[in-house]
Chains A and B, each alone.
Chain A
Amino acid sequence: DSGVTQTPKHLITATGQRVTLRCSPRSGDLSVYWYQQSLDQGLQFLIQYYNGEERAKGNILERFSAQQFPDLHSELNLSSLELGDSALYFCASSVGNSGGAYGYTFGSGTRLTVV
């Protein structure tokens, strides 16, 4: 157990629907990062939050949004889902505002299947 908790583990939904993925960071970590992993695109950085504020944005689609709450858990909202959104979605956390400086702790991921 890495200390980063992601729910749900699996999600199957239809095209056009909206889903919410949830992440609780490791205790003491203030930053949360969201990554998308698909077979053809590898691990793509989506967005980072640090202590409730958006810190950095990567290749996140406009149909996707995220937020970090005062208790530091984060939610990733995916809307108007398309078949191509099927992927593993990972949350990672780090102590400071730069996980690159010390490393990331990853959750076990949410496998999203859009049918």
Chain B
Amino acid sequence: SQQGEEDPQALSIQEGENATMNCSYKTSINNLQWYRQNSGRGLVHLILIRSNEREKHSGRLRVTLDTSKKSSSLLITASRAADTASYFCATDGGFKTIFGAGTRLFVKA
């Protein structure tokens, strides 16, 4: 079964709004990563948060991790049309990394 599962599956917002995507997982992890994929292109690494961290920022991105709830969220603030893409969480349990099915974000100009 999938380790990381994103929610929602799809999200449509207006430019300038914030976008929040969630990821839930089942077993203990060493770290959790978020990736972006533009249509038909390769995945781009956005941010990695380790199991002993609770929050991390990178530009307009904010990631939180709650290991007690086995969940993470990715917040994109002041979204732009260029943020339109699929976003994946990936959980690393030490043995292998498992990618979720992704959230499709559409930002309307």
Interface residues of A (CB under 8 A from B): 2, 4, 35, 42-43, 45, 56, 58, 88, 90, 92, 98-109, 111
Contact = CB atoms under 8 A, between A and B. Distances in A.
Interface of B: 2, 30-31, 33, 35, 40-45, 48, 88, 90, 92-102
A45 B44 contact: no
A109 B42 contact: yes
Given A42-B2, A42-B101, A101-B31, A106 B44 contact: yes
Name the residue among B2, B45, B93, B97 with the largest chain A CB count within 10 angstroms. Answer: B97
Contacts of A42: 2, 99-102
A105 B97 CA distance: 13
A90 B97 CA distance: 15
Given A43-B88, A100-B31, A101-B30, A107 B42 contact: yes
Contacts of A92: 43
15 contacts: A4-B42, A42-B101, A43-B99, A56-B96, A98-B92, A100-B33, A100-B93, A100-B94, A101-B31, A102-B48, A104-B97, A106-B43, A107-B42, A109-B42, A111-B40
Nearest to A106: B42
Nearest to B99: A43
A56 B48 CA distance: 22
Given A4-B42, A100-B94, A103-B33, 17 more contacts: A35-B99, A42-B102, A45-B97, A58-B96, A90-B43, A92-B43, A98-B94, A100-B30, A100-B31, A100-B33, A100-B93, A100-B97, A101-B30, A104-B43, A104-B45, A107-B42, A109-B41
Contacts of B93: 100
B9 to A, nearest CB: 11
